[in-house]
Amino acid sequence: MKLKGKTALITGSARGLGKAIALKLAEMGANIVLNDIVSSESLDETYKEFREAGYNVAVARGDVTKEEDVKNMVKAAVDKFGALHILVNNAGITRDKPMLLMSEEDWDLVLNVNLKGAFLCSKAAAKVMIKQRYGKIINISSVAGAYGNPGQANYSASKAGLIGLTKTIAKELASRGIRCNAVTPGIIKSQMTDVLPEELKKKYLDNIALGVFGTPEDVAGVVAFLASPDSDYVTGQVIDIDGGLVM
């Protein structure tokens, strides 16, 4: 229960990786603020699951690309639990195509959600954390942000931007008691990887030193470490969670 009494806002947490992170932090005692876009039907289901499990949980619907929505999300967390100690910038999308076929609209959409959204959320959360003289901001980047990935110019650029944003926030806010770190997941088991042809799965696995795909829980465990007091002397770092895909 290392996070008992702490409040965490996890963006894009209705399902998938964000939900796994929220669950891990809840298990460690944190008050959880779930977020997803207003039209997300699975957000209510996830909220119900957390409530039935006995966790302290609230919902803050909102679009991370809209500043007013973000301000309201942070306000909802503070109004419900009295503080905001942890922000996990997980909300993200893909619109994959070769660069020569990628539209300006697809470029802008991915950069807005994945990078601008993290900037707006970090800015709003930091204003609360500065007053507390304590906070943890954790950005969910990707190995694609450090090494690139064919067909993902927009996604790779957005995740590379998150790494730069992480290091800048860490330097700007360290004196205020705020730590900022990033994790870079590799190939994580999901609905998308489940439907890949066996030949393609084998090709990916041959490049992973551990020989298996990661799970959302693998990522959630590292995020939980960065959210906990165990990492109070860690800031500005980028941690690969990829089973040895890149090293």
Element (H or E) spanning 56, and its range? none
Helix, strand or coil, per DSSP, at residue 179: strand
DSSP state of 150: T
The enclosing domain of 169 has a CATH number of 3.40.50.720
Return the amino acid letter for 52: E
State the first-to-last Cα distance of the chain, in angstroms, to the nearest integer. 33
Does 192 fall in a domain? yes
Give me the pLDDT at residue 27, please.
98
Residue 246 lies in a domain: no
Given 55, 155, 204, 233, the catalytic residue? 155
The amino acid occupying position 91 is: A
What is the per-residue pLDDT for 195?
72
Residue 218 within any structural domain of the chain: yes
Number of independent structural domains in the chain: 1
Active site residue 155: yes
- How would you class 83 by CB atoms within 10 Å of its CB: exposed for 0-12, middle for 13-18, buried for 19 or more? middle
Structural domain contains residue 166: yes
What pLDDT sits at residue 192? Answer: 66
Specify whether the CB–CB gap between 214 and 186 falls below 8 A: yes
For residue 59, what are the β-bridge partners? 34
Mean pLDDT for all residues in the chain: 95
Q: Which domain holds residue 195?
A: 7-241
**Any domain includes 88:** yes
Q: For the segment 192-202, what is each residue's pLDDT rounded down to a tens digit?
A: 677 778 888 88
User: Considering the domain boundaries, does residue 211 fall inside one?
Assistant: yes
- Rounded CA-CA distance 71/120 in Å is 9
Distance CA 146, CA 239 (A): 11
Q: Evaluate if pTM is beyond 0.85.
A: yes
Is residue 35 domain-resident? yes
Does the residue 1 lie in any domain?
A: no
Q: What is the mean pLDDT of each run of 10 residues along the chain (247 residues)?
A: 96 95 98 88 93 97 97 97 98 94 97 98 98 98 92 96 98 98 94 77 91 96 98 98 93
What one-character DSSP code corresponds to residue 88? E
